[in-house]
């Protein structure tokens, strides 16, 4: 009886759960106005982003393999840190980002393969990647826990997920107050971005075998995203 129950459970988890989840969460809504605005915003601001995050990104991405998966690459801000000829599998559901993503790939000599799927529904096989990266994305994906589970699923054992994210400020702090105050318009303009998401806790309970996570403040005119985390998670 126990064997039958276990087999049934395994079949359910392996086959029906992912199908249900795919239907439920591959529902990214492309916006004809905010989509192109965000695409150009992230394309034009990439030089400034390099000033803010260049040092961290160079350090985090330095040992990347020849093939890299990036979740939510946007307009391609991270390509300048990849070796020429790197094969980049871009999980980018926002079709308005794609033209600038291709433009960046041409500029930095990246072999680009865009997949218009969400981070929650990545269509890559289990245990197939060595290196997954994402910057400023888990703040925006609709179901970040599901996205992190997908990242873990596609990583090979000992594979690395490297990340930079802005996160919620300390409770009862001025930054926290500002994050809550601006949350609605920010969320609307930046197509789903949460100023106050607790991504650090989410990564801590996502079951990676090792997590190196550093909290820091990055001061810039973008006040709601001053509190940040960076690091890597090993499967």
Given the rule CB under 6 A, which residues bind ligand SAM?
Answer: 28, 42, 71-74, 77, 91-94, 97, 118-120, 135-137, 140-142, 192-193
| Tokens 């350090």, located at residue | 59
Residue closer to ligand SAM, measured from CB, 86 or 118: 118
Spatial strand order of the sheet with 87-91 comes to 111-115, 87-91, 67-71, 129-135, 155-166, 227-234, 210-217
Residue closer to ligand SAM, measured from CB, 8 or 197: 197
Distances (CA, A) of 32 to 44, 45, 57, 143: 19, 20, 31, 23
Residue closer to ligand SAM, measured from CB, 44 or 171: 44
What is the Cα 143 distance to its own chain's centre? 11
Residue closer to ligand SAM, measured from CB, 91 or 200: 91
How is residue 75 written in tokens? 């307009």
* Distance (Å, whole) CA 6 – CA 172: 47
- Min dist. Cβ of residue 141 to ligand SAM (A): 4
- Min dist. Cβ of residue 179 to ligand SAM (A): 15
Distances (CA, A) of 192 to 9, 131, 157, 159: 34, 26, 32, 29
How is residue 130 written in tokens? 């060595």
Residue closer to ligand SAM, measured from CB, 8 or 38: 38
Residue closer to ligand SAM, measured from CB, 57 or 235: 57
First to last CA, the chain: 34
| Tokens 């040992």, located at residue | 63
- Min dist. Cβ of residue 80 to ligand SAM (A): 11
- Min dist. Cβ of residue 142 to ligand SAM (A): 6
- Min dist. Cβ of residue 52 to ligand SAM (A): 10
Give the three-state DSSP class for 187. Answer: helix
- Min dist. Cβ of residue 73 to ligand SAM (A): 5
């Amino acid at each position: 009886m126990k064997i039958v129950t276990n087999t049934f459970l395994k079949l359910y988890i392996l086959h029906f759960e992912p199908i249900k989840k795919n239907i439920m969460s591959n529902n990214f809504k492309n916006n004809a106005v905010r989509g192109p605005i965000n695409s150009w915003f992230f394309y034009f601001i990439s030089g400034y982003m390099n000033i803010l995050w260049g040092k961290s990104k160079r350090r985090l991405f330095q040992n990347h393999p020849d093939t890299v998966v990036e979740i939510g690459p946007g307009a391609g801000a991270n390509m300048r840190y990849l070796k020429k000829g790197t094969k980049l599998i871009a999980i980018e559901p926002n079709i308005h980002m794609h033209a600038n993503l291709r433009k960046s790939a041409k500029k930095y000599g990246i072999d680009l393969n865009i997949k218009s799927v969400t981070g929650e529904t990545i269509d890559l096989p289990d245990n197939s990647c060595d290196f997954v990266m994402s910057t400023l994305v888990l703040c925006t994906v609709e179901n970040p826990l599901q996205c992190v589970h997908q990242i873990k699923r596609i990583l090979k054992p000992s594979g690395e997920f490297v990340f930079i994210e802005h996160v919620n400020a300390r409770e009862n702090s001025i930054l926290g107050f500002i994050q809550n105050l601006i949350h609605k318009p920010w969320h609307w303009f930046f197509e789903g971005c949460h100023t106050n998401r607790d991504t650090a806790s989410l990564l801590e309970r996502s079951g990676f075998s090792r997590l190196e996570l550093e909290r820091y403040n990055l001061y810039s005119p973008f006040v709601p995203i001053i509190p940040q985390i960076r690091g890597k998670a090993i499967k």
